[in-house]
Structure formats: structure tokens, C-alpha cells
Structure 1
Amino acid sequence: MTQNLADTPRPLSADTTPAGEPSRWWRDAVIYQVYPRSFADANGDGMGDLPGVRSRLPYLRDLGVDAVWLSPFYASPQADAGYDVADYRAVDPMFGTLLDADALIRDAHELGLRIIVDLVPNHSSEQHEWFQRALREGPGSPLRERYHFRGGKGENGELPPNDWESIFGGPAWTRTTNPDGTPGDWYLHLFAPEQPDFNWDSPAVADEFRSILRFWLDMGVDGFRVDVAHGLVKAPGLPDLGSHDQLKLLGNDVMPFFDQDGVHEIYRAWRRILDEYPGERIAVAEAWTPTVERTANYVRPDELHQAFNFQYLGTAWDAAELRTVIDSSLAAMRPVDAPATWVLSNHDVTRHATRFANPPGGTQIRERGDRELGLRRARAATLLMLALPGSAYVYQGEELGLPDVTDLPDEVRQDPSFFRASGQDGFRDGCRVPIPWSGTAAPYGFGPAQGGPSWLPQPAEWAELSVEAQTGDPTSTLELYRSALAIRRADAALGAGSEVTWLPAPEGVLAFRRDSFVCLVNTTGAAVPFATEGRLLLSSTEQGEPGALAPDSTSWWAV
């Protein structure tokens, strides 16, 4: 399945640093996540693709971001939206070709944008050549050492090897059938059965991923977002978890299948490869850990460069809680000299415009909530995030103020967790609906006018949220993002460093200073008297009465 570029010109030169960019770009970068199937559709089949992304790169440059992170576009049966990879060196035909990826990387660099690609090292697709051979060859095949094949418990091996559950619901084990038709071993899949977990104790697995890294680095990518970075190494012997509800414990405790210390040697080896390449190539960990201190282990100087701050993403719109997680995040990263990261939304959680429209209660929300309140808080949260030191992540469509689509019909849903055991939310489809670009009717410029409907239906009210509708409107969320990113890029104090100076503030208000910049955040639903000095740079909402902070608002001041 691997596509060949041998007969094409060499891709990007070894040094991919865009002209004029400062070094250590990743420490304060604003990185925009593109979910390719929902960003732009070039061929009209209702599914986003790489040529579509390439056509919209000027939009991202003008928005003011520094880098683009692409969710998986590899060859895949799409059992989990591309996170089940069959060939790590090929582009799935639904997204284009390897030549399209090459052209996208080249164009991005010409526009001063960097490209980060998803890497999925915890598991492959069941259609991966290794796994298929392991099934065909049966017990004793050397290929089985590259996955977690185990005999079952019970009199005839009819019970799973241990009590682990899949993140998507149900057991984390599926039994195979031997080539002669008899019941066989079980294999481990922490996610869907179509996603068997690699066994990283196998030298062949480590060798393969070092080769995959070099393949894409040679193509010119600037970095990798490492999916399930905390899951590669399992505890020796794969011990039972016991009576705990593991789905409730995820991210709150060290599990026998997550955040094992052995993962760090893998990332030390990867860092050595990244450092061989000029242009400061990076790796970003998606690591769900019990504490930010555990997260900091992934970004020690000889390991990865960044790690997502999921503690921040899950924090309620509350001044005291926000200050606590900001302080703890900065404090945890300081000893390892890594930048803090800040993120409000991604392809796995409810968009923050909907999350903040509802009472606090996790990152998967099923209710629409108070749309006006949610948007007001989302805009304020964005300015807070962009004022903090470190790197910020923007998920496609949040700059348009898009809410989650909470009323998708069951028949259009594609999230695998929706079809698994009872109790699973299965509502990630709501944050993955294709974004609106222009026009008054679906698919709102997502694809060509003569194309078909988008792969997930877009709401009628999104016409007023399109890029076209918001461009030039000074009150729109899109123009707020453009202004904020322009100010952040122009002011060296924003994003840089690792400190904030907190200022005295009333209950429900955050106030901090960074050199000559002051950020004021009112997380309450009422105006709060607060004396301000200096010049107003930007506000998430109209200021309201003089000498007071508007409800649920953030303002930036030059002092």
C-alpha cells in the first residue's frame, strides 16, 4: 500500500525553518489543529481531504497561527476515523496521495507555516500487514510478538487474559480463530477491536517507528503529535486492575496500561532522531496522567518538547480553579525547562463554546445549553489562554465560535464508542462536524457547489457562523481571534517566559501582569467594579459601565 515518490523531485530541503522565524519556535507557538475530513473538501465527495487543506492554508496564515497539526490521513479502514492505521507511509485515498501531502508541506513552508502530523504508535489497524500475517500464521508466529497475544483464562481459554476494559467500552480483549478454525489466543486492544495494541517490548516495533519518524522527517514535516503517548508500555505480566472502575480512573491514577515509566526510554530515542534534523523538529505528547507533575516527565530536556495540558482543558469557568491549574502547570514545567501548553477544545471533547454553556461536568456534554452564555465565556477563555506563557492550541472552528452539534441523528454517527457497550458517551461526532466557509446553505463552502452533502450534517444556523459571514465584522469571534493573534505575535512578552505576576483582584476575577501587559478576567455573571489603568488593547465583549469588568469577559491592557 505504500506509495512511492522515487520518481518525483526531492521534497523539502533539510532545513525547513521558514524564513525570518526565531529559533525555539515551539515554545510560544499557536498551533491550529486540522481534522482533515472536516476542514475542506476539494473533490466534492463530502469528505475533507489534503488538497482541501492545502487550498485553505492562506486562511490559516492570515488567521495568525504558527503551525498546523493534521489529524491522521494515513491509509486506514477508518474504524476510528483514521486512528487505526494500516500503512504509516501512505495517504488514504479518501484524503489524496503522498504527492498531495508533499505539496501541502511545501506550500505551508512557503507561507511561513509549520506542519505537525499525527503519529499513532500505541496500536495499528487490524488490517496492518503485521497483524494480518500474525493471524494467518497462527500461534508461534514471530509476528505475534509485535502485539499482545495471550492465551485465555478458564478451562478452555474462553475467558479474557485479564480484566482490562476498552476505553470505548467492553473488554479490551478479542479472541482470535486459528487457521484450522479452532478458537485461538486473545489479543489486546485498549480501544476498538480493530485497533490491536503494539507490544513495545518487541525490538521490531521500536525499529519500525524510528523508520517511520525518519520517513516523515525526510518529507519535511516539522513535528509529530504522539497519540496515546502514555499508553505504549504495559506493566509486566499485564496484571488485573481489580475492582476499580477503570473508565472513571482514567487520567486520575497510574494504570497498568497507562503512564508506565518505560515509555520514557522510547521518547529519549525519538528525541535523538529529532535532534539530528535541522529546523527544530518537535514531538508533542498526548499524555493523560494523574497530575501535571507526571505530565512534566514527558517533556524533560532529553524527551519530547511539549505535552497537552488536559488538566487545564477540563477546568471549569471559575477564577479560583483556573488560577490553581495555571500556577500548577507553570510550576510543573519550570524544573524541566519545558513550555506550558494551553488548550480548550480538540477532536475528542465537547467544544468549549458548548461546555461553558452548561453547568460544570466533564468534557463530554450532551446538552446544547445556553448558547449566548457559552459563546461569551468561550471568547473570554480564549483571550485568557492566549495571554498565558507557553504554547496554545486552537481546534478548527473554535475561531468561528462553533458549538457542538448535540442533536445528530443516531443513523449518521460514526464514533466507534457510540456503538460499543452501554454507558459510553459516543458523542465525539458533535465536535467533528465540517466547518462552514461561505454561503447560506449546507455544505457552506466546505466542498464545491456541485458536490454532495458533507459526511456529517451541518446545522442550518451555521450560515451566520461561516468564515464569509464573520469576516469584516468587528464583533465576530473570527475577528476577535485574528486581533488577538496579531497582538500576541507583535508583543514579545505574550507567549514567552514561564511566569505571571498575579495582581490583587475581587472574588471571581483573575488579574495578572506580564511586563507592560495586563490581563483581566471576570468569570462571574455580573459586572465587577475594578479600577483599570492604561490603554485597552482588546476585549472579548463590550466593556459596559466605566470602571467595571463586564460579566464573563476578558480584557487586555497595555500599561
Structure 2
Amino acid sequence: MNDAAWWQSAIIYQIYPRSFQDSNGDGIGDLRGIEARLDTLVELGIDAIWISPIFPSPMADFGYDVADYCGIDPRFGTLADFDSLLAAAHARGIKLLLDLVPNHSSDQHPWFVESRSSRDNPKRDWYIWRDPAPDGGPPNNWISDFGGSAWEWDDATGQYYYHAFLKEQPDLNWRNPAVRAAMMDVLRFWFARGIDGFRIDVLWHMVKHADFPDNPVNAEWQPGMPDYMRVHQTHSADQPEIHDIAAEMRQIADAHGARVLIGEIYLPVPDLVRYYGTVDTPGVHLPFNFQLIGAEWDAPALAAMIDAYEAALPPGGWPNWVLGNHDRPRIATRVGAEQARVAMLLLLTLRGTPTLYNGDELGIADVDIPAEQVQDPRELNEPGIGMGRDPVRTPMAWDVGPNASFTSATPWLPLHADWASRNVAVQRGDPASMWRLTQKLLALRRAHPALALGDYHPVAASGALLAYERRLGTDRVLVVLNLGGTPQSFAIPEWAEGLAVVAAAQGGADPALLGPHEGYVLA
């Protein structure tokens, strides 16, 4: 255990800053609000916070359109507020990670303002500009992840620029050494300020095929599916050159001591694990493993998925697991309130580093957003196909005060309907609550080396049961989960017969008979 990096045994907690805590009464969360809630996070038991983008931004995509990589947006506070939050977090033993957005900037970033000013501007090649196709249309068939062509015509200079997301988010040209050097200096700036790592947004998008060929058409696409799925992103993402860039980012992180890089990568596991790099040329420490977010909630399928992921990890590659984030439906919506408790046991007992999204510790479900209150450009661009992200970005509920004490003003998005009973204060006082279950599991990870850093060993189970052992030295822990709605019997292994139930999703009185939606940890 003494050889492990801090992030291997850590629990990372994602904060969506607009929705965490408002300190100045404008209906939007901010840095002072996060600092005010740190003690609650310490009580919960988390080790690190990852904060979604807080850089200056026009907010076309709520911070993922960056206008200055080395500042703080006034909506969230100031650099002094950030330094105060960082110091307060470190004083409590909490690490702090920022969300780096290197694939694209805002169209209001000074770099792009210069780039689009003329074809001969020195920064023209900092972004991706191309002449029209022979018919005058876009240079190729690439589609934005937010729908429509990924190419935007610029009348003033007579060329198209590329944007993998909104037209207000032009992609940087990472094949230009000056862009690469400038962005590496951004990493150095924040590491020198004292942060503990970065989550790197859409890492797999950062390099495009040098010749810009058409992407292959997806023959399985049909109306009702997201527009970007009309083609396979063969040439617009996951290019071989990205691994050299990830390796340089890793060198910078390692040069600053105990830092961590987490890459956002939505790719199949065989492609995902390549982002660990190699022993000689390491990449990011943790390529995000999102499999649980889209997994079939079925015991045999999950068991096979876990085994395949473990087998695919390269030498030295440390696993990680994610149940939810600011982009995908919440776990309580995907599997129901009862199974959400079982899912929390799964997340916090698998081998590897877990990331917990704020609000999932309360069991918050997706929130219905009235049409007139929709904020998300993805939903506004392609309404009705289920890609809107507002339902999972709603404010945290802290207590029974007005607006759950998130804000003294009107919240920027509505709270969940059951916030008066589903909030931190109420659940903190209920030993059977989701918040208390999460707290107990986090404490168990600290108490048991097997849970924090031990090996994963599948245990034979049938029906709707998923069972596995975590083991490190003499410390052994058994986890059994009923992913179904009917009782399931389980033959406890001989080695575990003397162990006690130390945490349970519900029930747990008889480890050999699990009730519906029941799960437990024996230690």
C-alpha cells in the first residue's frame, strides 16, 4: 500500500459548480459556495474534488467554451476565491482537480478572434480552416456532436472552420506546435498554482486525420438517433498522434510531483486502454471507464464486462469506474431508486478509483425540465431525442430551507421535486439513507486495504446475483449484490462464513438469502 499513488485509493467527487452552492444570491453556484460545503464533503468521506469548468466563458456550452484558460469566470468568483478554495481543500486533506478543455476554445477567445481576422494572421493555423468543397459546401461530411455539419462558413475570409461541438466552440489545431506549446503552458500554470490534477475533456477528439477524408456512413442510423451518429467518427477522432500529446501532458504532470491526469474517452475498451500509454511512454493515469453508465443492468452481463475490462488493462494500468456525470442520465433514473443503492455498493467496492457525481449520494433522479426552462444547447439543437443534459445538472439540495438552501434567489435550473425529503440534512439524520450508505462505504474503503487497493476475484453466483472478493494480504472482503427484484439464495464461500455484514443496500440479515434489490459487504 505504501507504494500506491494517492489517486489509486482515492474517491473522486465531481462537482458541477453552477449547481453546487450559490454564495452571492444570483441563482448560480460558485467557488465560495464550494468552499462553504467542504466540511460536509469531509464528513461524507471523499478524497478529491473535480470541478467542471470555471474558466472565463460566454457560456454557450456552460463553461466548455473557454475564453481564457488561465482565469476564473466572474460568475464563479476570482482567482483569489480559487486560491482560497484550494487552500481550504488542502487544509482538510482534499485534493482538487480542474476540468481542462484543450480540444476547442470559445469563438471569443483572443486566439480565435485573431485567427478569423484574416487568412494571413499568425494565428490562422491555430484553428482548423479549410476551403469549401468543389460544390461550395463543407469540406467533408463530418458532423458535430451537437447536430449538423461540423463546419461553419466564415464569410469574411471565405473558408470553413471546424467545430466538433457548437459553432461557438472552434477546434484548436493540435498539429500546430505553437498551439501545443501554449496549451502545455496552461497545464504548468495551474500545476504551479497548486492543483492536484486535471480531468481532460474529450481527449480522444483532439487530433483529426491530416487529410480530412469523409467519415464512413453509418448504415444503422435512423431518424430519432442523434445526428452525429449518421457517420462513424473514424477520421475525426481517436487518431494515433493523440497518444504523443497525452504522453507530453503526463511528463508535465509527473514533473510536478503527485499529480493525476484523467482522460474523458468514450471508446470501446480495447481502444480506451491504449490511452494508458506504455511502460516506457505512459499516457494519462486514468482513461475514464464509463461502462457502468451504459451497461445492461444484468448480473451475468456485468460480471462479463468487469472480467473483460480487468483482462484488457495494460501492465501497471489502474482501473477506474464511473456511475454518473454531468452528461448522462443519473443512476437512480436508469435502474430505479432501490437498485441505485445496489449500484453504489458496486461502484465503491470494485477494484480501482471510483468517481462519484454530486447528488448521486442522495439518490437524486433526472429532473423534468419544462420546455421554457431548458438551458442545454444540445437539447435546443436536437429536441426530443433524449440527449438533453439539464435533467442531471440541477441544484444540490442541502436542507429544508428555501430552495433547499442552494440559493436565496431563483435557481438557474429547478430542483428535484422531492428535495424537501431528499436532501443532505434529512439523509444525514437517517441511518438508512443513501447518504449514510455512501458514507459507510467510503469509511470501509479506508478501513480495509482490500477494498482500497486489493485484487478483484469473481465468486460463483447464479441468477440475478453478482458476487466477488476483494483481497490484499490477509484482508478479505466479500461483496454480493442482487440486481433483480426477486429473492436469491447464495452459497457463502467457506472462507467467508465467519464474516459479518458491514454494509448493506437494504436487508442483509441473512447473507445466504438476499431479498429483492439487496446487496451487502461481508468483512
Query: TM-score with structure 2 length normalisation?
Result: 0.93
Structure 2 CA distance, aligned partners of 1:165 and 1:253?
10
**CA drift at 1:440:** 5.0
Pick one of 433, 436, 456 that aligns with 2:397.
436
Deviation, structure 1 residue 501: 1.8
Single out whichever of 506-515 and 186-195 deviates more from structure 2: 506-515
Q: Deviations over 1:378-400 (max 9, x none)?
A: 11011012111110000001001
Decide which of 245, 255, 271 is 1:294's aligned counterpart.
271
2:377 paired residue among 394, 416, 427: 416
Q: Secondary structure of 2:88's partner?
A: helix
Aligned residue for 1:148?
128
Q: CA deviation at 1:414?
A: 1.1
Contact 2:215 2:231 in 1 (8 A): no
- For residues 323-342 of structure 1, the aligned pairs below 5 Å read 323-333=303-313, 335-342=314-321
1:402 aligns with: 364
Say if 1:383 and 1:484, in contact at 8 Å, map to a contact too: yes
Q: Distance in 2 between matches of 1:303 and 1:270?
A: 8
**Distance change in 2, residues 1:492/1:74 (3 Å):** same
Q: 8 Å contact 2:145–2:228 — kept in the other structure? A: no
Structure 2 residue identity aligned to 1:467: V
Are residues 44 and 22 of structure 1, via their aligned partners in 2, closer, same or farther at CA, if it must alter by over 3 Å?
A: farther
Alpha-carbon distance in structure 1 between the residues aligned to 2:507 and 2:312? 36
1:541 aligns with 2:506: yes
Cα distance in structure 2, aligned partners of 1:86 and 1:202: 19
Which residue in 2 is equivalent to 1:58? 39
Closer/same/farther in 2, CA of residues 315 and 160 from structure 1, 3 Å limit: same
Which secondary structure does the structure 2 equivalent of 1:326 belong to? helix
Residue in 2 that maps onto 1:463: 420
Per the alignment, residue 283 of structure 2 pairs with 303
For structure 1, which segment, 104-113 or 316-325, has the greater mean C-alpha deviation from structure 2 after superposition? 316-325
Q: Judging changes above 3 Å, is the alpha-carbon distance between structure 1 residues 141 and 466 closer, same or farther for their aligned structure 2 residues?
A: same
Match of 2:445 in 1: 488
Tell me how far apart the structure 1 counterparts of residues 163 and 400 of structure 2 sit (CA, whole Å).
Answer: 43
Give the one of 122, 135, 139 matched to 2:103.
Answer: 122
Question: Is the 8 Å Cα contact of residues 544 and 550 (structure 1) preserved in structure 2?
Answer: no
Question: What is the letter of the counterpart of residue 152 of structure 2?
Answer: T
- TM-superposed CA distance for 1:495, in Å, is 2.8
CA separation in 2, counterparts of 1:276 and 1:252?
Answer: 40
Paired with 1:415 and 1:63, the residues of 2 have a C-alpha distance of 30
Q: Which residue of 1 aligns with 2:302?
A: 322
Q: How far, CA to CA, are the matches of 1:49 and 1:422 in structure 2? A: 29
Q: CA deviation at 1:135?
A: 1.9
Between 232-241 and 525-534, the greater mean CA deviation after superposition: 525-534
How many residues align? The count is 506
Query: 1:415 touches 1:426 (CA, 8 Å); kept in 2?
Result: no
Moved more, 33-42 or 512-521: 512-521
Which string of whole-angstrom CA distances, capped at 9 and with x for unpartnered residues, describes residues 45-104 of structure 1? 100000000111111111111110000000000000100000000100000001111111
CA distance in 1, matches of 2:11, 2:309: 18
Give, in whole Å, the separation in 1 of the partners of 2:452 and 2:519: 17
Structure 1 pair 253/510, CA: closer, same or farther in 2 (3 Å)? farther
Amino acid across the alignment from 1:178: A
**Which range moves more in the overlay, 87-96 or 248-257?**
248-257
Which deviates more from structure 2 when the two are superposed, residues 22-31 or residues 61-70? 22-31
- Unaligned segments of structure 2, at least 5 residues: none
1:169–1:422 Cα contact (<8 Å) kept: no
- Give the TM-score taking structure 1 as reference length: 0.87
Say which is worse superposed, 117-126 or 303-312, in terms of deviation. Answer: 303-312
Match of 2:71 in 1: 90
State the one-letter code of the partner of 1:395: Y
- 1:196 alignment counterpart: 170
- Distance in 2, Cα, partners of 1:171 & 1:255: 16
Contact 2:199–2:263 (8 Å) recurs in 1: yes
Instruction: State the partner residue of 2:146.
Output: 168
Contact 1:170 1:421 in 2 (8 A): no
**2:505–2:519: 8 Å Cα contact kept in structure 1?**
yes
Q: Which residue of 1 aligns with 2:467?
A: 511
Would the aligned equivalents of 1:539 and 1:553 in 2 still touch at CA under 8 Å? yes
Pairing 1:235–2:235 present: no
Q: Deviations over 1:137-160 (max 9, x none)?
A: x223231201111111244x3x11
Q: Give the whole-Å Cα distance in 2 for the aligned partners of 1:288 and 1:432.
A: 20
Over residues 428-459 of structure 1, what are the superposed CA-to-partner deviations in whole Å (9 max), with x where a residue is unaligned? 10000001001154x11112xxx211100113
**Closer/same/farther in 2, CA of residues 478 and 313 from structure 1, 3 Å limit:** same
Superposed displacement of residue 173, structure 1: 0.9
Q: Which residue of 2 aligns with 1:283?
A: 261
Residue in 2 that maps onto 1:5? none
Change (3 A) 1:341 1:299: same
Give 1:526 shift.
0.3
Q: What secondary structure is seen at the aligned counterpart in 1 of 2:321?
A: strand
Q: Percent identity?
A: 41
Q: Quick one: structure 1 residues 22 and 430, their matched pair in 2 at CA, closer, same or farther if it must change by over 3 Å?
A: farther
1:525 alignment partner AA: G
2:354 is equivalent to residue 392 of structure 1: yes
Q: Which amino acid aligns with 2:477?
A: F
Aligned-partner residue type, residue 426 of structure 2: A
Amino acid at match of 1:216: W
In the alignment, does 2:470 pair up with 1:502? no
